[in-house]
C-alpha cells in the first residue's frame, strides 16, 4: 500500500551513477523531510519530481539536452568544469555545488530554498488563476449592472416631459445629463387645468440607482396629487406637496434627501406660487434684460420630520424666463468661491437665450463631475 505521508512530502529526483557516493548522497538528502528517488539517467527519473539533483558524471553520460527545461535543477560535481557548467545553465539549473558530500549541509539548504521558491511560485500561479477567475466573474457582474443601469436610465428619461412642451403659453426646455447612467436630478412640468400648471425641479443627494429611485417617487407623488387638484388651493399646492414628499422619504428609510423647488403658475394672473426645500442655486428670473435670483428658504426634503415649507409668490411679466440649475453647474464654472460662481451664473443667464447657450459656455468634463440638469420656463407669449 502507498505511504500516505510519503506521498505528501516533496519528491527529490537524484540523478547519479550507482556506488557508495550515491548512497551517501541519498542518506544526506533523506535527513530532510523529502522522498528521494534515485535514477541513473534523466530518462529514468520518476514522472513527478519537485526538484532534481543532477550529478555531472551521470548527466554528461546521458546527455544534457534530455534534462527537461523548466524543472528546478541543482547540479552537483566533484570539480568545476566550464563545459559542463555551461551545458547545465542551458538546461535550466537553478544552482551549482562542487563537492556535495563535503558540503552536504549547504546542499540541503539549497534544496530547502529551491523547494520553498517552487512552492511560492506554485502558490502564486494558483492565486493568479483564482484572481483571473474572480476578475472574469466580476466583469460579468459589472456588465450586468451596466445593462441594468442603462435600462434604468432609459426608463428614467421616459418619465421626463418632452423638451419644448408648452402649457397655456409657457414653454419648458431642459438639458438632462447624468454623470453616469442614472441621475439624481429630475424635473417635471404639467398642466393642472385651463388656468394653472405645476412644475418642480429636484436634485436628490448622491448618485446611482438609489437616488434615481427617489425621482420615480417624485413622479408618482406628483401624478397622485395632481389627480386631486380640484380639491386643493393652488397657492398652497407646492408647500403641501413638499410636506407630503418629505414624509414619504422619511418613511421609506432609505436615507435619501433632496433639494426641490416646486411651483404653480397662475397663467391668468401671471403669477408664480412656489415653495422650496434648500434649493441651490436658487432659480433665476430673467426679464427685461436683467437676471435676479428668487428669494425664499426652506429645509431639505426627506431630512427632518414635521417641517413646514413656507409659501412664496412673485408676479411675472408677459415675457420672462425662469432658469433652474442643479448644483452640478457650480462645478463647471471657473470661479473659486461659491459667491463668485453664483454671480457668474447670474451674469451668464442674462446673456443667454436658451439652455443650449448656457451649456455651451460651461467647462464640462468627461465624465461629468456630478449629475447636471438645467431647465427654463418661458412665456406667457408662446402658442
- Compute the mean pLDDT over every residue in the chain, rounded to the nearest whole number: 89
Pairwise CA distance, residues 371 & 213, whole Å? 15
Residue % of the chain over a pLDDT of 90? 64
pLDDT of amino acid 4? 46
Greater pLDDT, 92 or 278:
278
Q: Per-residue DSSP letters for 56-75?
A: HHHHHHH-GGGSPTTS-EEE
Contact, 289 vs 280, CB < 8 A?
A: no
Section 286-303 average pLDDT: 93
Give the tens place of pLDDT for each residue, 31-67: 999 999 999 988 888 888 889 998 888 887 556 666 6
Q: Does domain 160-379 have CATH number 3.40.50.11540?
A: no
The dihedral sign for the CA sequence 32, 38, 42, 43: negative
Quote the distance between the C-alpha of residue 196 and its chain's center: 43
Residues carrying CATH 3.60.40.10, the chain: 160-379
Pairwise CA distance, residues 93 & 227, whole Å? 85
Pairwise CA distance, residues 358 & 260, whole Å? 21
Burial of 180 (0-12, 13-18, 19+ CB in 10 A): middle
Contact, 358 vs 348, CB < 8 A?
A: yes
Helix (H) or strand (E) holding 246: helix 237-252
Q: In the CATH hierarchy, which fold is given to the domain comprising 4-125? A: Rossmann fold (3.40.50)
Section 154-161 average pLDDT: 93
Confidence of residue 1 (pLDDT cuts 50, 70, 90): very low
User: HSE (CB half, 13 Å, CA atoms) of 76?
Assistant: 24
Q: Among all chains, which residue has been given the C-alpha cell 414653454? A: 171
User: HSE (CB half, 13 Å, CA atoms) of 145?
Assistant: 9
The dihedral sign for the CA sequence 330, 332, 338, 340: negative
Give the tens place of pLDDT for each residue, 334-357: 999 999 999 999 999 999 999 999
Residues 6+ apart with CB under 8 A from 90: 64
Residues carrying CATH 3.40.50.2300, the chain: 4-125
Amino acid at each position: 500500500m502507498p505511504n500516505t505521508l510519503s506521498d505528501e512530502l516533496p519528491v527529490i529526483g537524484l540523478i547519479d551513477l550507482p556506488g557508495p557516493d550515491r548512497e551517501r548522497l541519498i542518506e544526506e538528502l533523506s535527513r530532510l523531510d523529502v522522498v528521494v528517488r534515485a535514477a541513473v539517467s534523466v530518462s529514468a527519473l520518476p514522472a513527478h519530481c519537485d526538484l532534481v539533483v543532477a550529478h555531472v558524471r551521470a548527466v554528461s553520460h546521458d546527455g544534457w539536452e534530455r534534462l527537461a527545461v523548466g524543472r528546478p535543477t541543482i547540479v552537483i560535481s566533484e570539480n568545476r568544469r566550464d563545459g559542463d557548467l555551461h551545458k547545465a545553465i542551458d538546461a535550466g539549473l537553478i544552482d551549482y555545488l562542487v563537492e556535495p558530500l563535503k558540503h552536504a549541509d549547504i546542499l540541503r539548504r539549497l534544496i530547502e530554498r529551491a523547494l520553498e521558491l517552487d512552492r511560492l511560485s506554485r502558490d502564486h500561479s494558483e492565486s493568479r488563476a483564482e484572481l483571473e477567475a474572480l476578475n472574469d466573474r466580476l466583469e460579468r457582474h459589472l456588465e450586468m449592472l451596466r445593462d441594468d443601469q442603462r435600462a434604468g436610465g432609459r426608463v428614467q428619461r421616459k418619465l421626463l416631459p418632452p423638451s419644448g412642451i408648452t402649457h397655456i403659453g409657457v414653454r419648458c426646455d431642459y438639458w438632462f445629463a447624468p454623470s453616469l447612467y442614472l441621475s439624481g436630478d429630475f424635473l417635471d412640468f404639467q398642466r393642472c387645468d385651463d388656468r394653472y400648471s405645476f412644475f418642480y425641479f429636484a436634485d436628490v443627494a448622491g448618485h446611482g440607482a438609489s437616488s434615481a429611485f427617489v425621482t420615480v417617487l417624485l413622479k408618482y407623488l406628483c401624478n397622485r396629487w395632481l389627480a386631486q387638484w380640484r380639491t386643493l388651493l393652488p397657492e398652497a399646492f407646492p408647500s403641501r406637496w413638499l410636506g407630503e414628499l418629505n414624509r414619504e422619504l422619511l418613511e421609506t428609510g432609505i436615507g435619501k434627501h433632496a433639494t426641490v423647488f416646486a411651483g404653480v403658475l397662475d397663467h391668468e394672473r401671471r403669477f408664480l406660487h412656489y415653495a422650496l426645500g434648500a434649493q441651490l442655486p436658487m432659480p433665476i428670473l430673467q426679464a427685461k434684460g436683467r437676471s435676479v435670483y428668487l428669494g425664499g428658504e426652506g429645509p431639505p426634503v426627506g431630512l427632518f420630520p414635521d417641517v413646514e415649507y413656507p409659501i412664496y409668490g412673485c408676479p411675472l411679466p408677459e415675457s420672462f424666463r425662469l432658469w433652474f440649475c442643479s448644483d452640478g453647474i457650480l462645478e463647471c464654472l471657473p470661479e473659486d468661491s461659491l459667491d463668485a460662481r453664483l454671480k457668474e451664473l447670474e451674469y451668464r443667464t442674462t446673456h443667454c437665450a436658451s439652455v443650449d447657450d448656457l451649456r455651451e459656455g460651461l467647462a464640462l468634463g468627461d465624465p461629468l463631475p456630478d449629475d447636471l440638469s438645467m431647465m427654463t420656463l418661458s412665456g406667457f407669449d408662446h402658442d
